[in-house]
Amino acid sequence: MASVTTDDSWPDNFGDGFEMTIDPRVDGPFRDVLRAFITSHIVNRSRRLLLGGGSFALRATDPSTGAPSTVEALRQSPHAFRIASLEDPDNTRRLIEQEFSEEASALLGRAEAVARGEVVLLGQRWPSLEERAPDWHRDPSGEFCWNANTPGRAVLDRYPQLDADPKQVWEPARFQFAAPLAQAYWLTGEERWAESYLALVESFLDANPFARGIHWSSAMEVALRAFSWTWALGHLRDSEAISESLWRRWQASLNDHARYVRLCLEFEVLGNGNHYVANLLGLASTAKGLPGHASSRRRASLARRFEREAVDETLGDGENFEGSTAYHQFATEMFVWAAALGFDTRPRFRSTVRSQLEFLNALVREDGTIPRVGDDDSGRILAVSEEDAFAVLDVGFALIPDAPRRAHGETPTLDLVWAGGVEAVERFRADRPTLPMRTSRSFSESGIHIATHDKSQVCMTTGPARVRAAGGHMHADLLSISWHVEGHELICDPGTLAYAGGLENRNQLRGSAAHSTAHVEGEELRELVGGFQSGPAPRARMNTTDGGWEASVRFESGFAMRRRIRFGDPHALAIEDDMIRPSGERIEWALILGLGEVERLEESPSHLHLRQASPAGELELRIEAGVSVDWSIDSLVGSEAYGVPRELQRIRARSRACEDLELRCRIALAPHP
């Protein structure tokens, strides 16, 4: 059994002199808040008037008069995307056929499944996509539909049932799931693939007239759909299945997508976020993908906006400022695809996106996953393969000058081949970084700390230096940790199950009790305000020690915590926590385990000895408290991906009244032989 040696000596003045930097998640000067409120109210009322029907409403583009480009003009126009599949198709196909035949077979298998309607998104199978005319408004549960006739700007005013989650129906309408059909046509030239994709487009156009229904309620969703369609057009445009009438209709709808996004830009006075970047990406794709759609002046404006958002939304160490590692990956992918569209002409944009990719590369594990800190909605921009973080890093490597080669894996993904072709594959194979067996990196501005040892990764969060004033995706997870060994998350973040269904449901996995940390019972380490906002909180002070970390934080309430993590062995971990309670309050400490039932071997008021079987081996935990505590073990329904339930085991220790709390937790994994 692996072991960890710990040092139990602590200074006498523990709790004194804590450095506390309040996150600048404040509403700014009152005049800015008032201006934002008034502007938002007026703008939203105007949008409803223009998109809600009636004599003042905008009308859908008439395909017969408002979509002048012909199919031939489309085919002769320059490609929107600067990627190898479009700019060097013959050599890229040859490379795939010769060296990536297994990946190509897997791609064709995914296309076959989509063509049959066998689609699984966010853990839900979509039976309606098996039908000739899919019901784009029906929830995958089949229990309810969103009203298809309600003006899009008013759909979310009234949910069809309490726990209705709009993201579930938005996901297929992004059309990312249908990308394998366009890829299969490009790869084989078989018209049936193009026909299947275009049938889905026609079905969507029939069921979703301009500005009506759930799929016209969010500018972000409209923009991401426009991006997907434009990308697919580049690979389908030589297909005989694109008739003049279909192209005029599709072109008119893309024009309406761009009009909608321009009218409903999700610009926020107190700070933009990923929604606004998605808006820009949708506009960029139509500006480049529709012949004659945008002037050079509009394109130059988009390039300036991309640069401004990349710089403004990125912390000094490369992380996105919304406080979520998953949203960092999502935003990074958007900026990378902006580069693919040619909007990377400004130096600060390129250097900032490089830093975003470097941060993502530091997070990624050997199996291609990343630790999930904060919200995770499993969002992607374009999934050429089934890879996740590896795919984003590979596309970035292909398209961004001097972008990092990913730290793990010797095989290029299909994403890299598709984006960069022969040249990118050669660079990837030539640039083989030799990783040290053990690395520890602290990103002080993002508050993310990563330690990697062989196939083991430990992650801890101490709070970001800067976050969005208008909202974000943080959880109340200060000093929470995760531990990932050989492809299995042994100590895990609870993830995100839903954005809707009431605040209690939303906050269940955002709260401190769902994370491997400690807090005062009945309070949060970070106040959870509304669905997507959180209040100010102190940042923890962090020091790197020999073989571990030491972090400390103090709250205005009087609660203080010092956590020491020791990770000298890839199969062992030690957690040493000292906590000071506010007067009369109880402290609650939790450890979230990711795999299987927990067996109690020994228990006393101050000691707990547990065992847990896992695919990685047998996990043994010894937890010792300096005082008598109340122990409990319960199940917590977390999420392994957005909306996909996962049963977790939560170990809890509650201090008795009027007592501070000290805990020493030693965890060792005995790997399977």
pLDDT of 383 higher than 90: no
Q: How far apart are CA 571 and CA 576, in angstroms?
A: 17
SS3 per-residue string spanning 67-98: CCCCHHHHHHCCCCCCCHHHHCHHHHHHHHHH
Nearest to 656 by CA among 567, 589, 610: 589
Q: How far apart are CA 524 and CA 652, in angstroms?
A: 16
Q: How far apart are CA 214 and CA 446, in angstroms?
A: 35
Q: How confident is the model at residue 436 (pLDDT cuts 50, 70, 90)?
A: low
Query: Has residue 182 been placed in a domain?
Result: no
**Strands 518-520, 587-593: parallel, antiparallel or unpaired by DSSP?**
antiparallel
pLDDT score at 399:
97
pLDDT score at 2:
41
Task: Kindly report, residue by residue over 208-224, the tens digit of the pLDDT.
Answer: 999 999 999 999 999 99
DSSP bridge pairs for 648: 636
Q: How far apart are CA 416 and CA 390, in angstroms?
A: 9
pLDDT score at 55:
61
Q: How far apart are CA 512 and CA 519, in angstroms?
A: 7
Task: Kindly report, residue by residue over 442-476, the tens digit of the pLDDT.
Answer: 999 999 999 998 889 999 999 988 887 766 799 99
Other Cβ atoms closer than 10 A to 647: 13
- Please give the structure tokens belonging to residue 438: 């053990």
Q: Residue 580: which CATH number?
A: 2.70.98.70
Residue type present at position 375: D
> Can you count the helices (H) and strands (E) in the chain?
17, 21
Other Cβ atoms closer than 10 A to 77: 15
pLDDT score at 54:
66
Query: Has residue 134 been placed in a domain?
Result: no
Q: How confident is the model at residue 37 (pLDDT cuts 50, 70, 90)?
A: low
Q: How far apart are CA 576 and CA 625, in angstroms?
A: 10
Q: How far apart are CA 562 and CA 14, in angstroms?
A: 8
Handedness of CA 506, 510, 516, 521 (dihedral sign): negative
pLDDT score at 673:
73
Structural domains counted in the chain: 1
The set of residues, in sequence order, having a beta carbon less than 8 Å from that of 39 and lying 6+ positions away, is 269
Q: How far apart are CA 389 and CA 640, in angstroms?
A: 15
Handedness of CA 501, 375, 638, 392 (dihedral sign): positive
- Please give the structure tokens belonging to residue 601: 């071997």
Q: How confident is the model at residue 435 (pLDDT cuts 50, 70, 90)?
A: low
Nearest to 435 by CA among 415, 462, 457: 457
pLDDT score at 9:
45
pLDDT of 307 higher than 90: yes
Distances (CA, A) of 504 to 159, 501, 508: 17, 8, 6
Q: How far apart are CA 330 and CA 333, in angstroms?
A: 5
Q: How far apart are CA 133 and CA 203, in angstroms?
A: 6
E-strand ranges in 570-660 read 572-580, 587-593, 598-604, 607-614, 617-625, 629-641, 644-655
Q: What is the mean pLDDT of residues 172-185?
A: 97
Q: How confident is the model at residue 32 (pLDDT cuts 50, 70, 90)?
A: low
DSSP bridge pairs for 630: 654
DSSP bridge pairs for 208: none
Task: Kindly report, residue by residue over 109-135, the tens digit of the pLDDT.
Answer: 999 999 999 999 998 888 888 887 899
Task: Kindly report, residue by residue over 406-430, the tens digit of the pLDDT.
Answer: 998 889 999 999 999 999 999 999 9
Residue type present at position 246: L
Q: Is 560 helix (H, G, I), strand (E, B) or coil?
A: strand
pLDDT score at 338:
98
Distances (CA, A) of 82 to 178, 403, 531: 21, 16, 38
pLDDT score at 21:
37
pLDDT of 17 higher than 50: no
Element at 390 (helix H, strand E):
helix 389-399
pLDDT of 359 higher than 60: yes
In 446-548, where does DSSP find H-type helix? 503-507
Query: Has residue 311 been placed in a domain?
Result: no
Other Cβ atoms closer than 10 A to 243: 12
pLDDT score at 162:
83
The answer to whether the CB of 621 falls within 8 A of the CB of 667 is yes
> Which of 90-94, 181-185, 234-238, 287-291 comes out lowest in average pLDDT?
287-291
pLDDT of 328 higher than 80: yes
Q: What is the mean pLDDT of residues 328-337?
A: 98
pLDDT score at 29:
54
Q: What is the mean pLDDT of residues 495-510?
A: 83
pLDDT score at 30:
53
Query: Has residue 587 been placed in a domain?
Result: yes
- Give, in degrees to the nearest 5, the angle at Cα 252 between 173 and 48: 65
> Which of 44-48, 566-570, 667-671 comes out lowest in average pLDDT?
44-48
Query: Has residue 342 been placed in a domain?
Result: no
pLDDT of 44 higher than 80: no
Could you please report the per-residue DSSP string of 624-645?
Answer: EESS-EEEEEEEEEEEEETTEE
Q: How far apart are CA 192 and CA 508, in angstroms?
A: 46
Query: Has residue 224 been placed in a domain?
Result: no
The answer to whether the CB of 6 falls within 8 A of the CB of 663 is no
Q: Residue 605: which domain range?
A: 438-671
Task: Kindly report, residue by residue over 258-279, the tens digit of the pLDDT.
Answer: 999 999 999 887 778 999 999 9
Nearest to 424 by CA among 451, 403, 447: 403
Q: How far apart are CA 256 and CA 8, in angstroms?
A: 65
The set of residues, in sequence order, having a beta carbon less than 8 Å from that of 417 and lying 6+ positions away, is 84, 92, 95, 96, 100, 103, 424, 425
pLDDT of 5 higher than 80: no
Q: How far apart are CA 215 and CA 166, in angstroms?
A: 9
Task: Kindly report, residue by residue over 218-253, the tens digit of the pLDDT.
Answer: 999 999 999 999 999 999 999 999 999 999 999 999
pLDDT score at 7:
42
Query: Has residue 447 been placed in a domain?
Result: yes
Query: Has residue 152 been placed in a domain?
Result: no
Q: What is the mean pLDDT of residues 545-570?
A: 91
